[in-house]
Structure 1
Amino acid sequence: MALPMAQQAKYWGVAGVMFLLLMYLMGDVLVPFLVGGAIAYFLDPVADRLQRAGMSRVAATALITLLMFLVVVLLVLAVIPTLIQQTSALVNAAPEISRNLQTFLTERFPELSDETSIMRKTLADIGDFIQSKGGDLAQGIVSSAMSVISAVIFIVVVPVVAFYLLLDWDKMVARVDAMIPRDHVATVRRLAGEIDDVLAGFVRGQLTVCLILGAYYSVALMLAGLQFGLVVGAIAGAVTFIPYVGAIIGGILAIGLALFQFWGDWVAIGIVAAIFAFGQFIEGNVLTPKLVGSSVGLHPVWLLLALSAFGALLGFAGMLIAVPVAASLGVLMRFAISQYQASVLYRGVDSVPPAPPAPTPVAHEHEKDVV
């Protein structure tokens, strides 16, 4: 017999509060383990596919780890130094870009030549603000991250955690499944499957889309001759995690920089715009339908709310769990709505079918004889 709903709600509520309290108290310590778990979750389908191809789980995990190590080494040696260099150059060039914008606007809007103009003062301050605060912001992010965890510990712990979690992923899932209350095992398995579908479609699929688009934008913009093409491509690819935002931010940034660099060369400016137009066409018609799917059930506004709320409450660790928690809450909310719509509270008493009449008692043979 199942426990009453009030007691179940109390137990699960206490478990949820303890989880949030644990994240609040130990969030900084758990960051490497959360990152390692996310990597293992992302790569588990690859390991499963290698197993189906005939490899053992140990061999598949070792092969994936080796390939990931080579990718990281390639990024560290080839991409990251250039990315840092271009980011620093973009920050330092902000005042000049701002002055060019001021000159451009002044030529076409003479009223801005008035030194008391608020718009002119604003434009003049933008570049100095970005230059002064851009480096401080980057340094603050790095220093805060280093204050949370040691870089050496992070680099060492994350691969080890990801390796062992990926190696034992199926065993852990089976162990968790064995701990599900038997009265609710079918419902929990169904909800867990829906949550996994949302995460697989959004996290795995959208992250793959981000990597592909980021690489495409970076390479294409650099080939087009844009000075900060790698930075713009990285930004556009990263922000693509939030649908439509990446294209808008990346497109505005790239076309704006192209206007300053290639002013008068409308062919070059058109090439930069065409790069983003083609990227959006490929994303909307090929990448997103194939890798993400049409109905992952995670609305961009809901994602932004989860990232903001959990980031404010739990810091960087909260941002790492924001997407899984948002996906889980979305599935649970849809389940609660479906249960509500099937209940008497929603449908009304009249919709409840009447109870079948009680069966007429049948007299036994010896009772008939007595009668």
Structure 2
Amino acid sequence: MSDKMTKNLIIVITYAVALVLIVINFIPIMRGIWKFVVLFKPFFIGIAVAFILNKPCMAVDRFLNKKIFKNRLKGVARGTAITITYLLVLLLLTLIISFIIPELIKSIQVFLSNRVSYIDNFRDLTNEVSELLGLEKIDLSSMDKLILEYTNRLGSSITELMSKIISITTGVVSFLATLVITLVFSVYILAGKEKLIGQCKKVFSTYLPKDLCNKGAYIYRVVVDVFNKYIYGQLAEAFILGSLCFIGMIFFRFEYALLISVLIALTALVPYFGAYIGGFVAFMLLLMISPMKAIWFLVYLIVLQQLENNLIYPRVVGSSLGLPGIWVVLSVIVGAGVGGSIGVLLGVPIATILFNLLKNDVLRRSEKQSVK
């Protein structure tokens, strides 16, 4: 047996043993990884914040270097860009807290105060549909009690939370400490990301083979490209869809315009069918108020979704992730089963990364075989 074949055999056996050990000890390994993530949670959150703010910060940095500092004092320009970016984020959060959240609370309070009449409307609607179809009337008494009980609990919990929010002090110190550490990490990463990347490259090139370093750099570029497209694409889609939904609902005089628009925007963060989930919830809400308005809202949302997907989103965001629709649905389902709500959000970019790596590897190998 040649040395090369022996070496390949040893590598295959090593990989097989490692894979078996990982499968057998999958749960303990995942627990260990989760403990590691929790231990360094502020650091990872800081990386996430820096990644999200990187594009706007670099845009401001380029503008300052070109228009103000004339490519001189780059350190001052970067510091000023970081300051402006965080001030804009703070201003956005202030606007949300000052204007949107109070209106949302008011809408929820109005809905809870009118819940009895809404339930009566829904019961009358189901009875009319049953009579039209020649079916027996549906007994919704148990549903009435369940909804009333749930909404009463919801209303009381909101009231208790709002009345006790000032006196809540448990975990405030920990939250503030985590927030400060996260901000420090994110600012440090934004300020010296080129230096950090250069140091990482130097360490990897020193201790790892050249081919492995090149593969690692390629995977890094794919990961950054996919997450950039995904994060900014989903945020842009959610903002555009929520804004257009709010404008249309105000124009057509639908009830709870802000509440439903925020719901549509939040669910639009879930890829592929998130907005339709929010639309279904909004449809059921409007159905209890007026069936005709619910139907017209559903028609409006479908038209808006098609307009946004085919005209607005491609022009504003650019090319999509390129992941086939069936794999998007599958990645969301698998992500939800593995990681819950976080898995739903991260399932699509992770699946896209794996899909792109596999596709590019297949194309590269096919080209090699065709050359031979």
Aligned to 1:198: 226
> For residues 44 and 98 of structure 2, what CA distance do their matches in structure 1 show?
26
Residues 140-165 of structure 1 show CA distances to partners (whole Å, capped at 9, x for unaligned) of: 9xx9xx87995434544443333222
User: Is the 8 Å Cα contact of residues 239 and 265 (structure 2) preserved in structure 1?
Assistant: yes
Residues 296-345 of structure 1 show CA distances to partners (whole Å, capped at 9, x for unaligned) of: 33742243145324425xx86x67765654444444444565577689xx
> For residues 90 and 366 of structure 2, what CA distance do their matches in structure 1 show?
50
5+ unaligned residues in a row in structure 1: which ranges? 354-371
Offset of 1:281 from its aligned partner?
Answer: 0.6
Matches within 5 A, 1:1-371: 5-6=11-12, 20-55=30-65, 56-90=77-111, 93-110=114-131, 117=138, 120-121=140-141, 123-125=143-145, 127-128=147-148, 130-131=150-151, 134=154, 150-178=174-202, 179=204, 181=208, 182-222=210-250, 224-262=252-290, 270=296, 273-274=299-300, 277-288=303-314, 290-297=316-323, 299-312=327-340, 325-334=350-359
Specify whether residues 280 and 237 from structure 1 end up closer, same or farther in structure 2 by C-alpha distance, changes over 3 A only.
Answer: farther
Letter in 1 for 2:51: Y
Highest RCO, 1 vs 2 (Cα 8 Å, sep ≥ 6):
1
Letter in 1 for 2:193: W
Letter in 1 for 2:280: I
5+ unaligned residues in a row in structure 2: which ranges? 66-76
User: Is the 8 Å Cα contact of residues 214 and 233 (structure 1) preserved in structure 2?
Assistant: yes
> For residues 342 and 7 of structure 1, what CA distance do their matches in structure 2 show?
29
CA RMSD of aligned residues (A): 4.4
Percent pairwise identity: 19
Letter in 2 for 1:228: Y
User: Is the 8 Å Cα contact of residues 57 and 167 (structure 1) preserved in structure 2?
Assistant: yes
> For residues 283 and 325 of structure 1, what CA distance do their matches in structure 2 show?
22
**Scaled by the length of structure 1, what TM-score is found?**
0.70
User: Is the 8 Å Cα contact of residues 206 and 292 (structure 1) preserved in structure 2?
Assistant: no
> For residues 291 and 130 of structure 1, what CA distance do their matches in structure 2 show?
40
**Scaled by the length of structure 2, what TM-score is found?**
0.70
